[in-house]
A = this chain, B = another copy of it.
Amino acid sequence: MQGFRFLRIPLFPSNALFFVSPTPHLLPVKPISRIPIKYFSSQMGSSPSSSSSKLLFRQLFEKESSTYTYLLADVSHPDKPALLIDPVDKTVDRDLNLVRELGLKLVYAMNTHVHADHVTGTGLIKSKFPGAKSVISRASGSKADVLIEPGDRISFGDLFLEVRATPGHTSGCVTYVTGDEPDQPHPRMAFTGDALLIRGCGRTDFQGGSSKQLYESVHSQIFTLPKDTLIYPAHDYKGFSASTVGEEMKYNPRLTKDLEEFKKIMEHLNLPYPKMMDIAVPANLVCGLQDPAC
């Protein structure tokens, strides 16, 4: 199983689960190939960037449920191992077609949590792309090939995601964060699911939700990341595609409040019962029901 690995780091020694590539892949460093000085000379800055030469990143949108699916791959690795975060059943063909066109090898189809507003595509993906494994948190109570826990590291090629527990919207919510190492993308990227939305957050009135827990999750697990960390949520309803930790710490209308005020806000949202909930939640406990074995 070369090129990607699933590693439970020593911080959490119990339930250790290792899919480790036998040797690190030492790839040639890509030169910057085009340095024409056409119009004027200018400074050469070191450029910590929102991506790296290794990372292929695509944000995909499902309009009906306003869900973002994320495609990440290590394109510097010979296998081009890739993962999809929060795929939707209705857009699986679009996503897998893109994976194939880009010559990627899909390793993981992952969820940030058990969604209540759409049916996950992970089961369908497994049936259409043999070899891909479904991933969700053990705390979600769902079935999947890989049940992750806080502190786990999900590797694809030389890139990896850290797992952070961010319960509160549901009891099993996690945030996936790109690694804090020099060869990983800079700034870091946090896939926050429904824990933290852009200028908002997920509701906390069902599926084991708790406004207190959500508040603590966001403050301890997300707002402690570097301020330039890019926030990529599971949904957006206003047309925003990304934010940063710094922006949300300053402008999130809910999470900038103190805990008591936050709890009051969350108690009085008066949101309707999710249309898809009774179909989506049972299905999403088993990878969208397309594959009962997950």
Return the contact of A239 from the options B40, B94, B226, B239 (Cβ within 8 A).
B94
Query: Considering the chains assembled together, what is the distance between the CA atoms of A24 and B250 in angstroms?
Result: 32
In the assembled complex, the CB of A185 is this many whole angstroms from the nearest CB of chain B, namely 8
The complex places the Cα of A284 from the Cα of B72 at a distance, in Å, of 38
Query: Residue A182 contacts which of B27, B35, B102, B239 (CB distance < 8 angstroms)?
Result: B35
- Copy number in the complex reads 2
Kindly provide the distance from the CB of A104 to the nearest chain B CB, expressed in whole angstroms: 12
Contact A181 B39 (CB under 8 A): yes
Known: A60-B240, A94-B240. 20 other contacts (CB 8 A): A9-B39, A29-B43, A29-B44, A30-B45, A30-B46, A30-B48, A32-B182, A32-B186, A37-B181, A39-B153, A42-B158, A43-B183, A45-B52, A47-B54, A49-B53, A50-B51, A58-B240, A61-B241, A94-B239, A98-B240
A–B pairs, 6, beta carbons within 8 Å: A24-B42, A31-B46, A32-B182, A42-B182, A59-B241, A94-B238
Give the B-binding residues of A (Cβ under 8 A).
Answer: 9, 24, 26-27, 29-32, 34-40, 42-54, 57-63, 76, 91, 94, 98, 101-102, 153, 158, 180-183, 186, 226, 238-242, 247, 250-251
